[in-house]
Amino acid sequence: MLSLKDSDLLKQQAYINGEWQAALSGKTMPVINPANGEILAYVPDMRAAETQQAIDAAAAALPLWKKKTAKERSVLLRRWFDLIVDAKDDLAMLMTAEQGKPLTEAAGEVLYGASFVEWYAEEGKRVYGDLIPSHAADKRIMVSREPVGVVAAITPWNFPNAMITRKCAPALAAGCTMVLKPAEDTPLSALALMVLAERAGIPKGVINVITTTQPAEVGSVFTASKEVRKLSFTGSTAVGKQLMKQCADTVKKVSMELGGNAPLIVFDDADLDKAVQGAIISKFRNAGQTCVCANRVLVQAGVYDAFIEKFSVAVQALSVGHGLQGVFDQGPLINQAAVNKVSELLEDAVSKGARLVCGGNPHELGGTFFEPTVIADVVPEMRVSREEIFGPIAPVYRFETEAEAIAMANDTEYGLAAYFYANDLGRVWRVSEGLEYGMVAVNEGVLSTEVAPFGGVKESGIGREGSRYGIDEYLEMKYTLIGGI
Ligand code: NAD
């Protein structure tokens, strides 16, 4: 069992209208530790009826919440931020237990998640409007921004805390109320955040959480609802497309943070040691289970062999283990299906001529642990080139020219994050501008921060999270014409 300093943070009920509730059917679902298969807790398995209750609660809470001053909302968010930071160790432990990432990574995510709450506690006070020079002397044109209304949010398991705060903080700061459905693998982090939101004094109904084994059923209630005016989704592109179609009938606003196929390009003029370091952090963070993970490592011919040599040494030095039992670089994958997918992708690549440089097998720890793996001589015909790997496999490609690298990098329907290592100033500009991605990191392997706009182009999504732009996703513009002046 988990020994938390504050045992109330381990909640086994969902949170609707300020009440901790079981499913109407009494059914529950287990939450499993991917590192050892242990059942950590049971949470309610809710369906359409409870989803509708939560939407009704959010709709009922909306008028009072949006009438609060920005400062009043800010004070509550700031309190929530402080409580999250104070509970950092427990929240990290819960996250490692249900998701598997190493404890230091989990603690990092808790602080990253909290940073959105702090940021939007401030940003909510700066939702300004405009007075537009009028077209007529006796009229005035005003533009104000109002909360969209009730927001539904659906989040994935790979960042069980930060993907939630990245949506809730701007929504609440803007004056919206919410219903959240966290991923079925990682509901405990979401529920713990609600315990802290309640303690912070966020009023009942303003934020509600449904847990379920039936995401499609709950999602359909969200998308069909006329009260829900916005859907904010983070997850796979396939589910995002489906939800966008479902949202068409009620013409909802949507934000979509979807999959990626990030290139990490190493040019001849790069600092190779920095490039290796960047590739390690970008590829192997969270065992390769992030949307911005380097999915393809493209290396220029002049440094190809040297890079592979240094990279494989660094990869073989990565430690693998159970995040609650020591300090490790990599934890387990989320479930057996993830291991199967990684194994299939690897088999496909090797059968088509990829060279296995290191790793390549389920880890001797068993369960869902997988060895950090490098494959070389990868080509676009292999499945790893087209699909999100979402696991600890780094495929390395060779290229000759800058133009070829840009073309290879852009040869995907995704457009979330891209990374490249180069020192030539002209090249830095040319390549940055040539990459069809929402985010580009130059000589860096991690780019997520609350102060910058996170999001993708092409089939990686619509909208941005974080930064001063993120709150716009939860605001509607209103034009008021005042005549007779
Ligand atoms: P997923 O799409 O299977 O699930 C995401 C969420 O959607 C979960 O809560 C799930 O229960 C729910 N869901 C699944 N089917 C649904 C349906 N029919 N209707 C409504 N909800 C449904 O994705 P996943 O495997 O949980 O997460 C990994 C994916 O998320 C990857 O593609 C990754 O790139 C993406 N992701 C993107 C970002 C980003 O910011 N762009 C961040 C993290 C993860």
Phi-psi region of 271 (alpha: psi -120 to 50; beta: other; left: phi over 0): beta
pLDDT at 120: 98
Testing ligand 1's pocket by substitution, the residue of 31, 112, 158 carrying the most ligand atoms inside 8 A of its CB is: 158
CATH 3.40.309.10 residue window(s) in the chain: 262-442
- Please measure the distance between the N-terminal and C-terminal CA atoms of the chain and give it in whole angstroms: 70
Q: Which atom of ligand 1 lies at the shortest distance from residue 184's CA? A: 11
Q: Is 109 a catalytic residue?
A: no
Share of the chain above pLDDT 90, in %: 99
CA–centroid distance, residue 156 to ligand 1 (Å): 5
Q: Is the CB of 210 under 6 A from ligand 1?
A: no
CATH 3.40.605.10-classified regions of the chain? 7-258+460-479
pLDDT at 365 over 90: yes
Please report which helix (H) or strand (E) contains residue 231, including its range. strand 228-234
Torsion of CA 79, 19, 17, 468, to 10 degrees: 30
Q: What is the DSSP letter of 165?
A: H
Tokens 């087209």, residue? 386
Task: Tell me which fold the domain 262-442 belongs to.
Answer: Aldehyde Dehydrogenase; Chain A, domain 2 (3.40.309)
Q: Per-residue confidence at 121, pLDDT binned at 50, 70, 90?
A: very high
| Pocket probe mutation, ligand 1, options 99, 116, 154, max atoms within 8 Å of Cβ | 154
Cβ(298) – ligand 1 distance below 6 Å: no
CATH 1.10.10.60 fits 7-258+460-479, yes or no: no
What Rg value do the Cα atoms of the chain yield, rounded? 23
Report pLDDT digits (tens) over 236-279: 999 999 999 999 999 999 999 999 999 999 999 999 999 999 99
* Ligand 1 atom 9: residue of nearest CA: 183
Assess whether the C-beta atom of 234 lies below 6 angstroms from ligand 1.
yes
What confidence score (pLDDT) does residue 432 get? 98
Residue 2 has what pLDDT? 86
Of 478, 450, 463, nearest in space to 175 by CA: 478
pLDDT in tens, 366-393: 999 999 999 999 999 999 999 999 999 9
pLDDT at 466 over 90: yes
* Nearest CA among 164, 392, 437, 162 for reference residue 281: 392
Check: CB of residue 193 under 8 Å from CB of residue 84.
Answer: yes
- Ligand 1 contact, 183 CB (< 6 A): yes
Q: Which residues contact 423 (CB under 8 A, 6 or more apart)?
A: 269, 270, 271, 443
Residue 224: predicted pLDDT: 98
Amino acid at 326: G
Q: What's the 183 CA to ligand 1 centre distance in angstroms? A: 8
In this structure, how many other beta carbons lie within 10 angstroms of the beta carbon of residue 424? 14
Q: Which residue minimizes the CA distance to atom 43 of ligand 1?
A: 291
**Could you give phi then psi for residue 321, rounded to 5 degrees?**
180, 180
Residue 1 pLDDT greater than 90, yes or no: no
Percentage of residues in the chain having pLDDT higher than 70: 100
Instruction: Report pTM.
Output: 0.98
Residue 314 scores a pLDDT above 80 = yes
Statement: residue 344 has pLDDT above 80: yes
Ligand 1 site, residue 157, Cβ cutoff 6 A? yes
pLDDT in tens, 156-198: 999 999 999 999 999 999 999 999 999 999 999 999 999 999 9
Mean pLDDT to the nearest integer, 201-219: 98
Annotated catalytic residue, options 98, 123, 257, 388: 257
CB atoms within 10 A of CB 468: 16
Residue-level pLDDT at 294: 98
